[in-house]
């Protein structure tokens, strides 16, 4: 078993196919321990730190920061037994891994080199003594200075058998390599890659190799064939960098990947799959604001972030208990409506990498204090970019707080697999009729988008009205509905 092990990029959650390397936490030559974080990777759902699978010394890092790597591809190699002596030199590894040039006999085949300097022959015939010879390429004519006089054997009428030359040989003129011609022997590339280069008319001698020991890979050939420029050798351009548009244009082109790419795909799928309906309700939340202020003074909430969003979340959970069909999903595969008896409450969070919607698992079973602690931890983790993929999967109902940006309300798009999402608008001091008189009250507007295949207008209206009634007087509602 080899002491140097390659660590492949693992599947970081729910079938993700690729990840972008954000930061390497180790470098070549570092001694690392088992389960030590070695790299930070951003997937389509979150940025996570990956621990080492083995302890040892880092011998190679395959990809620079900013590179997008497919799941299952190697990202780092680790010498798991550094005390066993030095590793084989690069020259000895190259002697094993260099692919044969076009037309040469591959090692291990009949007439080709075998381990130990022998020549591979048919089983039972013993090793061939002396140097192996091969026929030249068709169309060439060489004369051996040691070849016997007389006509060649009948089996050699098409080409002459050439033995190793004796004595000095005049240097041959090497013709220039053109596109589509066989690549020089010193170019490291496997036979399938060489064939691909010939088929595409690519000169392997002009292709910068990015594979092991500088070998040319299929991706390198395709990149040149498609006219894409390779990254600079000493200054790789991060994949997340903003690159300017054509000269003279005032444009920027930002690669769409990671969280933003998945969000775009999900929103398009949801918008054109579920028939959306949005309803709005403007409510007086003055008592909600006062309740939040009193909660902040209580010792059990002293270390927590208490905001009107906490009471909106509680209002949603109690309203779902009264209208369970709102917490459901449409199953096109089985032609069923799946009503969930648990609420994984999602809270939309804007981060530097895009919009994510982590959720509080089984939020309906939490007390108000436990819910406040969960929301506080969820938002803090999301802002730091450390939300795990598991925290963003399995949501059943979501809330988006557009009020923090000073927006009155909106028409949110459903997260895939959910039947409703609530938008909370900004809370403003507003003239309001209260007990028959116009007074300045704290007022907000709620927007509820729902899947009309599951929730009809009556159910959506009753649910939104219950949320509004709770926020009008949360303390009385909690006593009556709990």
Q: What is the pLDDT of residue 148?
A: 44
Active site residues: 452
Q: What is the pLDDT of residue 143?
A: 45
Helix-then-strand count for the chain, H and E: 9, 21
Who's near 50: CB < 8 A, 6+ residues apart? Answer: 9, 10, 12, 37, 38, 39, 40, 41
Distance between CA atoms of residues 106 and 391, nearest Å: 52
| Nearest of 277, 447, 201 to residue 348 by alpha carbon | 447
B/e letters for 165-186, b = 16+ CB within 10 Å, e = fewer, are eeeeeeeeeeeeeeeebbbeee
Sign for the CA dihedral angle at 138, 139, 142, 148 comes to positive
Q: Which helix (H) or strand (E) holds 266?
A: helix 258-271
Running DSSP on this structure, what letter comes out for residue 246?
S
Predicted confidence pLDDT, tens digits, the chain (482 residues): 578 888 898 876 656 678 888 889 998 989 988 888 899 887 766 677 888 888 889 999 999 888 888 888 899 999 888 877 777 655 444 444 444 444 444 454 444 455 544 544 444 444 444 444 455 555 444 444 444 444 444 444 444 444 444 444 444 444 444 444 444 446 777 777 787 888 888 888 888 888 766 778 888 888 887 776 544 344 344 444 445 555 556 777 777 766 667 667 777 777 767 788 999 999 999 999 999 999 999 999 988 889 999 999 999 999 999 999 999 999 888 889 999 999 999 999 887 767 788 999 999 999 999 999 999 898 888 877 778 778 888 999 999 999 999 999 999 988 888 999 999 999 999 999 999 999 999 999 999 999 999 999 999 999 999 999 999 999 999 888 86
Q: Which helix (H) or strand (E) holds 464?
A: helix 457-472
Q: How far is CA 348 from CA 63, 263, 341, 415, in A?
A: 32, 12, 22, 10
Distance between CA atoms of residues 362 and 365, nearest Å: 6
Query: Which domains are delineated in the chain?
Result: 4-83 (2.40.50.100), 179-231 (4.10.320.10), 260-481 (3.30.559.10)
Q: What is the pLDDT of residue 65?
A: 86
Q: What is the pLDDT of residue 54?
A: 87
């Amino acid at each position: 078993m080899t002491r140097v092990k390659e660590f492949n990029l693992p599947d970081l959650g729910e079938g993700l196919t690729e990840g972008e390397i954000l930061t390497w936490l180790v470098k070549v030559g570092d001694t690392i321990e088992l389960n030590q974080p070695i790299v930070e990777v951003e997937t389509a759902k979150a940025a996570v730190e990956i621990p080492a699978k083995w302890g040892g010394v880092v011998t190679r890092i395959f990809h620079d920061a900013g590179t997008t790597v497919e799941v299952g591809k190697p990202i780092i190699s680790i010498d798991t037994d550094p005390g066993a002596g030095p590793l084989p030199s690069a020259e000895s590894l190259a002697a094993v891994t260099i692919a044969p040039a076009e037309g040469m006999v591959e090692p291990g085949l009949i007439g080709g080199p075998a381990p130990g300097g022998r020549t591979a022959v048919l089983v039972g015939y013993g090793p061939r003594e002396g140097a192996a010879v091969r026929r030249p390429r068709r169309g060439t004519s060489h004369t051996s200075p040691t070849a016997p006089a007389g006509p060649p054997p009948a089996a050699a009428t098409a080409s002459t058998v050439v033995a190793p030359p004796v004595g000095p040989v005049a240097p041959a003129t090497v013709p220039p390599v053109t596109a589509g011609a066989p690549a020089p022997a010193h170019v490291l590339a496997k036979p399938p890659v060489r064939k691909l280069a010939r088929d595409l008319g690519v000169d392997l001698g002009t292709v910068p190799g990015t594979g092991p020991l500088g070998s040319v890979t299929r991706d390198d050939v395709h990149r040149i064939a498609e006219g894409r420029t390779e990254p600079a050798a000493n200054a790789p351009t991060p994949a997340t960098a903003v690159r300017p548009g054509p000269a003279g244009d005032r444009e920027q082109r930002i690669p769409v990947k990671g969280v933003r790419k998945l969000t775009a795909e999900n929103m398009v799928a949801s918008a054109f799959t579920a028939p959306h309906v949005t309803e709005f309700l403007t409510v007086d939340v003055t008592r909600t604001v006062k309740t939040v202020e009193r909660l902040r003074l209580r010792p059990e909430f002293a270390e927590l972030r208490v905001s009107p969003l906490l009471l909106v979340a509680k209002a949603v959970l109690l309203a779902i208990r009264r209208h369970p069909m709102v917490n459901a999903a449409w199953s096109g595969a089985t032609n069923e409506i799946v009503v969930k008896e648990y609420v994984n409450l999602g809270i939309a969070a804007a981060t530097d990498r895009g919009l994510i919607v982590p959720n509080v698992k089984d939020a309906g079973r939490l007390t108000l204090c436990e819910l406040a602690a969960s929301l506080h931890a969820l938002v803090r983790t999301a802002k730091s970019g450390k939300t795990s993929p598991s925290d963003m999967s399995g949501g059943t109902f979501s809330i988006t707080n557009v009020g923090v940006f000073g927006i009155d309300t909106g028409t949110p798009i459903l997260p895939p697999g959910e039947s409703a999402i609530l938008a909370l608008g900004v809370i403003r001091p507003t003239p309001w009729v209260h007990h028959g008189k116009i007074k300045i009250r704290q007022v907000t507007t709620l927007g509820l988008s729902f899947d009309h295949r599951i929730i009809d207008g009556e159910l959506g209206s009753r649910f939104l009205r219950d949320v509004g009634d709770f926020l009008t007087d949360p303390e009385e509602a909690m006593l009556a509905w709990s």
